[in-house]
Amino acid sequence: MSAASVPVSLHDLTRAELGALFARWEFSPVHVARLWRYLYWECVASLAEMPELPAKVRRRLADETRLHTPGIALETDSSDGFTRKYLLRLEDHERIETVLMRYTGRVTACISSQVGCAMGCVFCATGQMGYTRHLTPGEIVAQAVHVQRVLRAQGQRLRNIVLMGMGEPLHNYDAVMQAMEILRDPNGLALGAERITLSTVGVVPGILRLAREKRPLRLAVSLHAATQPERAALVPAAKKWPLDELMAACRTYSETTGRRIFYEWTLIEGKNDRPGDARAVGRLLQGLPAQVNLIPLNPTAGFAGAPTRTEASHRFQRILAEEFKIPSTVRQRRGIDIAAGCGQLAVAEKN
Ligand code: SAH
Ligand code: SF4
Does pLDDT of 347 surpass 70?
A: no
From residue 208, how far is each of 112, 205, 251, 264 by CA, in Å? Answer: 22, 5, 10, 19
Banded pLDDT at 2 (limits 50, 70, 90): very low
Q: For the CA atoms of 336, 291, 181, 101, what is the dihedral angle to 10 degrees?
A: 20
For 12-65, how does the pLDDT look when each residue is reduced to its tens digit (9 = 90+)? 999 999 999 999 999 999 999 999 999 999 999 999 999 999 999 999 999 999
Does pLDDT of 82 surpass 60?
A: yes
Q: Which of 143, 331, 344, 347 to mutate to test the pocket of ligand 1 (most atoms within 8 A of CB)?
A: 344
pTM: 0.94
So what's the pLDDT on residue 350? 30
For 302-343, how does the pLDDT look when each residue is reduced to its tens digit (9 = 90+)? 999 998 999 999 999 999 999 999 999 998 655 555 454 454
The rounded Å distance from CA 186 to ligand 2 centre is 31
Ligand 1: residues within 6 Å at CB? 121, 123-124, 164, 168, 199-201, 222, 264, 266, 295, 297-298, 300, 343-344
So what's the pLDDT on residue 331? 80
Is 342 an annotated catalytic residue? Answer: yes
CA–CA separation, 61 vs 7, rounded Å? 10
Is 168 an annotated catalytic residue? Answer: no
What is the average per-residue pLDDT within 166-179? 98
The rounded Å distance from CA 78 to ligand 2 centre is 22
Tally Cβ neighbours within 10 Å of residue 194.
12
Higher pLDDT, 224 or 129: 224
CA–CA separation, 247 vs 92, rounded Å? 39
Residues 319 and 278 sit within 8 Å (Cβ to Cβ)? yes
CA count, 13 A, side-chain hemisphere, 62: 12
**Nearest Cα to 107, choosing from 141, 79, 147, 69?**
147
CA–CA separation, 9 vs 135, rounded Å? 13
Strand partners, 237: none
CA–CA separation, 187 vs 183, rounded Å? 10
DSSP codes, 18-45: HHHHHHHTT--HHHHHHHHHHHHTS--S
List, in order of start, the domains of the chain with CATH numbers: 9-66 (1.10.150.530), 71-338 (3.20.20.70)
Residue 313 CB partners (closer than 8 Å, separation 6+): 267, 273, 294, 296, 330
What is the average per-residue pLDDT within 205-221? 97
Range list of β-strands (E), the chain? 8-9, 65-66, 71-77, 83-89, 95-103, 106-110, 114-116, 131-134, 160-163, 196-200, 218-222, 261-267, 290-296, 328-330
Catalytic residue (one of 97, 168, 264, 349): 97
The rounded Å distance from CA 198 to ligand 1 centre is 12
